[in-house]
Amino acid sequence: MAVTPDATHDPGRRSWIDSANREDTDFPLQNLPLGVFRRKSESRIGVAIGDRIFDLHAAAGAEIVPPRLREPCLAPRLNRLLAAEHAAWPELRGWLSDVLSMDSCPASLRSIAEACVLPAAGVEMLLPMQVGDYTDFYASRHHATNVGALFRPDQPLLPNYAWVPIGYHGRCSSLVISGTGVRRPNGQLRPETGGSPVFGPTRQLDYELELGAVVGGTNALGEPVPIAKAGERVFGLVLLNDWSARDIQAWEYQPLGPFLGKSFATTLSPWVVTLEALAPFRTTATPRGDGNPPPLPYLTDAADVAGGAFDLQLDVFLATERMRRDGIDPVRLTRSNLRHLYWTLAQLVTHHTSNGCNLQPGDLLGTGTVSGPEPESVGCLLERTRRGTAPLPLPSGETRTFLEDGDEIVLRAFAERSGYRRIGFGECRGRVLAAHPL
Amino acid sequence: MAVTPDATHDPGRRSWIDSANREDTDFPLQNLPLGVFRRKSESRIGVAIGDRIFDLHAAAGAEIVPPRLREPCLAPRLNRLLAAEHAAWPELRGWLSDVLSMDSCPASLRSIAEACVLPAAGVEMLLPMQVGDYTDFYASRHHATNVGALFRPDQPLLPNYAWVPIGYHGRCSSLVISGTGVRRPNGQLRPETGGSPVFGPTRQLDYELELGAVVGGTNALGEPVPIAKAGERVFGLVLLNDWSARDIQAWEYQPLGPFLGKSFATTLSPWVVTLEALAPFRTTATPRGDGNPPPLPYLTDAADVAGGAFDLQLDVFLATERMRRDGIDPVRLTRSNLRHLYWTLAQLVTHHTSNGCNLQPGDLLGTGTVSGPEPESVGCLLERTRRGTAPLPLPSGETRTFLEDGDEIVLRAFAERSGYRRIGFGECRGRVLAAHPL
Distance between CA B328 and CA B129 in Å, rounded? 35
Q: Residue B179: which pLDDT band, with cuts at 50, 70 and 90? A: very high
Question: B49-70: per-residue pLDDT in tens?
Answer: 999 999 999 999 999 999 999 9
- Between positions 361 and 420 of A, the ones with CB within 8 A of B are 363
Tens digit of each residue's pLDDT, chain A (438 residues): 567 889 999 999 999 999 999 999 999 999 999 999 999 999 999 999 999 999 999 999 999 999 999 999 999 999 999 999 999 999 999 999 999 999 999 999 999 999 999 999 999 999 999 999 999 999 999 999 999 999 888 989 999 999 999 999 999 999 999 999 999 999 999 877 778 999 999 999 999 999 999 999 999 999 999 999 999 999 999 999 999 999 999 999 999 999 999 999 999 999 999 999 999 999 999 999 877 999 999 999 999 999 999 999 999 999 999 999 999 999 999 999 999 999 999 999 999 999 999 999 999 999 999 999 999 999 999 999 999 999 999 999 999 999 999 999 999 999 999 999 999 999 999 999 999 999
Q: Which of A173, A254, A258 sits opposite B160 (nearest CB)?
A: A254
Q: Please provide the DSSP assignment of B212-258 as one string.
A: EEEE-S---TT----HHHHGGGEEEEEEEE--EEHHHHHHH-TTT--
- Between positions 25 and 84 of A, the ones with CB within 8 A of B are none
- Where b means 16+ CB within 10 Å and e means fewer, B135-152 reads bbbbbbbbbbebbbeeee
ipTM tops the 0.90 cut: yes
Could you say which DSSP state residue A347 is in?
H
Q: Does A156 touch chain B (CB under 8 A)?
A: no
CA distance A131 to chain B (A): 9
Distance between CA B246 and CA B204 in Å, rounded? 5
pLDDT at site B190: 83
Asked whether the beta carbons of residue B185 and residue A358 sit closer than 8 angstroms, the reply is no
State the average pLDDT over residues B281-288: 95
Asked whether the beta carbons of residue B221 and residue A164 sit closer than 8 angstroms, the reply is no
Q: Does B2 touch chain A (CB under 8 A)?
A: no
Mean pLDDT score of chain B:
96
In the three-class reduction of DSSP (H, G, I as helix; E, B as strand; rest coil), residue A147 is classed as: helix
Q: Please provide the DSSP assignment of B292-317 as one string.
A: BPPPPGGG--HHHHHH-EE--EEEEE
**The whole model's pTM is what?**
0.97
**CB A165, CB A344: distance < 8 Å:** no
In the three-class reduction of DSSP (H, G, I as helix; E, B as strand; rest coil), residue B413 is classed as: strand
- Where b means 16+ CB within 10 Å and e means fewer, A5-44 reads beebbbeebbbbbebbbeeebbbbbbbbbbbbbeeeeeeb
CB neighbours of A87 closer than 8 A, spacing ≥ 6? none
pLDDT at site A1: 54
Q: Residue B2: which pLDDT band, with cuts at 50, 70 and 90? A: low
CA distance A413 to chain B (A): 27
Asked whether the beta carbons of residue B168 and residue A197 sit closer than 8 angstroms, the reply is no
**CB A336, CB A371: distance < 8 Å:** yes
Chain B nearest-CA residue for A166? B252
Question: B244-259: per-residue pLDDT in tens?
Answer: 999 999 999 999 999 9
The β-bridge relationship of strands A408-415 and A423-433 is: antiparallel
Distance between CA A210 and CA A238 in Å, rounded? 9
Which residues in chain A are contacts of B169 at CB distance < 8 A? Answer: 168-171, 259, 263
pLDDT at site A290: 79
**Over 60: is that where the pLDDT of B369 sits?**
yes
CA distance A195 to chain B (A): 10
What amino acid positions of A are annotated as catalytic residues?
143
Nearest to B29 by CA among B437, B433, B424: B424
Asked whether the beta carbons of residue A163 and residue B132 sit closer than 8 angstroms, the reply is no
Annotated active-site residue B143? The verdict is: yes
Which residues in chain B are contacts of A192 at CB distance < 8 A? Answer: none
Q: Please provide the DSSP assignment of B322-349 as one string.
A: HHHHTTPPPEEEEEEEGGG-SS-HHHHH
Distance between CA B44 and CA B59 in Å, rounded? 11
Asked whether the beta carbons of residue B356 and residue A264 sit closer than 8 angstroms, the reply is yes
Distance between CA B113 and CA A53 in Å, rounded? 54
pLDDT at site A158: 94
Asked whether the beta carbons of residue A224 and residue B171 sit closer than 8 angstroms, the reply is no
pLDDT at site B1: 53
Which residues in chain A are contacts of B133 at CB distance < 8 A? Answer: 171-173
In the three-class reduction of DSSP (H, G, I as helix; E, B as strand; rest coil), residue A74 is classed as: helix
Which residues in chain A are contacts of B265 at CB distance < 8 A? Answer: 221, 356
Work out how many CB contacts closer than 8 A connect A with B. Answer: 203
Distance between CA A174 and CA B224 in Å, rounded? 13
Using alpha carbons only, what angle is made at residue A253 by residues A248 and A257, rounded to the nearest 5 degrees?
A: 130
Asked whether the beta carbons of residue B356 and residue A167 sit closer than 8 angstroms, the reply is no
Q: Which of A168, A252, A265 sits opposite B256 (nearest CB)?
A: A168
- Between positions 205 and 234 of B, the ones with CB within 8 A of A are 221-224
Nearest to B185 by CA among B435, B401, B437, B433: B435
Length of chain B, in residues: 438
Which residues in chain B are contacts of A355 at CB distance < 8 A? Answer: 185-187, 245, 248, 260-261, 263-264
In the three-class reduction of DSSP (H, G, I as helix; E, B as strand; rest coil), residue B283 is classed as: strand
Instruction: State the best of B175, B244, B251, B355 to mutate against chain A, taking most chain A CBs within 10 Å.
Output: B355
State the average pLDDT over residues B30-34: 98
- H/E segment holding residue A56: helix A56-61
Q: Which of B222, B263, B357 sits opposite A357 (nearest CB)?
A: B263
pLDDT at site A185: 98
Distance between CA B267 and CA B431 in Å, rounded? 11
Distance between CA B102 and CA B14 in Å, rounded? 6
